[in-house]
Each structure stands twice: as structure tokens, then as C-alpha cells.
Amino acid sequence: MRIEQTPLKDCFIIHEKVHGDARGYFIETFNQRDFTAASGLDIQFVQDNQSRSSKGVLRGLHMQRGSSAQAKLVRVLAGSVLDVAVDLRKGSPSFGQHFTIELTAENHKQFFVPAGFAHGFVVLSESATFFYKVDKFYEPGNEVGIMYNDTDLKIDWKLADNELILSDKDKVLGSFAEYAASL
């Protein structure tokens, strides 16, 4: 496991060793001991989630607040997505900044998003299967979000607005300014 620090504090790209031969490949996708040693973080994941989405589906930007704030380890099992993390930790040196990475079934990259970050992704391929681990259980009353096209964040989702497919819930999320004012 090799961990690459992104410009956002505690937000990492994880490169796993791929063992391949004529039969296919094998990857150890998570090892608690190696992750803790490489990142310095002692994260205990409690739940795995998986979704499948069509091209243009944008899920986000979501997060859990307070004691429900979740760290996530995300990856793509099939297809490709543009994955986005936004630092919403009050007092963080990277507060209000975002980072994007393309995760694909072929590049085998994983992305660690710490607690206190909003997270989302958009599907770039015809479809994608997205997998992620979280370190806290989902609590509906602690869910908040920020609109994907927030003018302060200026995230380039790599697709035109008319290509994006959002849930009704994601169409009415608040702004970054509203979130920041609530801290």
C-alpha cells in the first residue's frame, strides 16, 4: 500500500499493489495495520456500501455532521467516476477547498475521505459500480449537503449540466455559504 497525500489535509489517494498473471489479478484492497501505519490514522470501518449508477448520475455532495461524521474509503469496481471531496472542517487549513480524482476499475485507485468532508461523485462511463467503507453508521437526522454546482466551490464535474442526473433531494441542497454560516 502506498498513500499519496492530496492538497487537502488527511485526504489520501491509496495505491494498492496489483498482482497479475494470465489468470487475472489479485489486490488486497484494505489492510487495517498497513493503513494505520501509512496514514497515521486509526480508522475502524463498520459498514460497506455499494451502488450502481448510469452515466451522468451525480450523487452528492453529502456528509454526516457531529458525532455521525463519517470517514470513507471509496473505489470503483466497474466503470469510471469523477470523485469529489470538499473540506468542511471548521479551522482546517484547507476549509472550503475541494479535490477531484478519477477512479476507475482499471486504475484500482482508492480515495480516503476523512470525517468532516462533503463527498460526491459523477459517473463518466456508461455505468459504474461504486464501493465504499464508512467508519460510522448512517444517521438520517445528521445528514447535510451542499449543492453540486455551488458558485463558491466552482467544481468542474467534467460533464455539462444537461448531462447530469440528480435525485430530487440533491436538487435542493444548500450552499457552501449557508453551511459555513451555520458553523
Check residue 1 and give its pLDDT.
87
Q: How far apart are CA 77 and CA 80, in angstroms?
A: 9
**Domain 2-181 belongs in CATH node 2.60.120.10:** yes
Note if the bond before 77 is cis, omega within 30 degrees.
no
Q: Which residues are catalytic?
A: 62, 132
Q: How far apart are CA 177 and CA 183, in angstroms?
A: 10
Are the C-beta atoms of 71 and 155 separated by less than 8 Å?
Answer: no
Check residue 80 and give its pLDDT.
98
Q: Where are the domains of the chain?
A: 2-181
Q: What is the mean pLDDT of the chain?
A: 96
Q: How far apart are CA 68 and CA 138, in angstroms?
A: 7
Check residue 73 and give its pLDDT.
98
Helix/strand/coil percent split, the chain, to 5:
15, 45, 45
Angular region, 79: left φ>0, alpha ψ -120 to 50, beta rest: left
- pLDDT > 90? residue 180: yes
Instruction: Please choose, from the candidates 44, 24, 48, the residue with its C-alpha nearest in 3D space to the C-alpha of residue 32.
Output: 44
Position 159 confidence tier, pLDDT thresholds 50, 70, 90: very high
Q: What is the pLDDT of residues 38-97, one digit of tens each?
A: 999 999 999 999 999 999 999 999 999 999 999 999 999 999 999 999 999 999 999 999
Q: What is the pLDDT of residues 9-25, one digit of tens each?
A: 999 999 999 999 999 99
Q: What does the pLDDT average to over 107-117?
A: 97
Strands (DSSP E) found in the chain: 2-5, 12-15, 18-21, 24-27, 47-54, 58-64, 72-78, 80-87, 98-104, 110-113, 117-123, 127-134, 143-145
Contacts of 28 (CB under 8 A, 6+ apart): 1, 16, 17
Q: How far apart are CA 130 and CA 31, in angstroms?
A: 19
C-alpha cell belonging to residue 72: 470513507
Are the C-beta atoms of 3 and 91 separated by less than 8 Å?
Answer: no
Q: How far apart are CA 109 and CA 13, in angstroms?
A: 7
